[in-house]
Amino acid sequence: MKWIPLESADQIDAIKQTQGYSLIFKHSTRCSISMMVKKRFEFDWDKLPDNLPLYFLDLIKYRELSNKIAADFQVYHESPQLLLIKDGECILDLSHGEVSVEEAMLVIS
């Protein structure tokens, strides 16, 4: 699997228009906890469906996009944070130690 860098508001708008599932992982490159959670997530991501888009947001570099995500999907900004989007709506919001492939798969399955 591969991350899709999330670098523009247009991408967020496209995710909102996408039918089916998308995942957004918000990561702070300055936070050791965020780095640990990211590594743990990547270790297990082969359990996710192959066609699931995995968006990666460097929220230090793109803080305004993190704010847009919070507003558009009606979630509180956290880091690290995993959002599962289905048909343009956030249906799962996990942060910190809750972020896991297993939790996402419980909803997708």
> What's the pLDDT tens digit per position in 60-100?
999 999 999 999 999 988 889 999 999 999 999 999 989 99
pLDDT higher than 90, residue 1: no
pLDDT of residue 80: 94
Question: What's the whole-model pTM score?
Answer: 0.94
Model pLDDT for residues 10-45, shown as the tens digit of each residue:
999 999 999 999 999 999 989 899 999 999 999 999
pLDDT of residue 35: 93
Model pLDDT for residues 48-57, shown as the tens digit of each residue:
999 999 999 9
Residue 7, both tokens = 């670098």
Query: Going edge to edge, which strands form the sheet with 21-27?
Result: 4-5, 54-58, 21-27, 81-86, 89-95
For residues 1 and 75, which has the higher predicted lDDT (pLDDT)? Answer: 75
DSSP state of 48: S
Per the CB < 8 A criterion, the answer to whether 108 and 49 are in contact is yes
CA–CA gap between residue 59 and residue 43 (Å, rounded): 21
Taking alpha carbons only, the member of 93, 100, 92 closest to residue 36 is 100
CA–CA gap between residue 79 and residue 46 (Å, rounded): 22
pLDDT higher than 90, residue 109: no
CA–CA gap between residue 14 and residue 17 (Å, rounded): 5
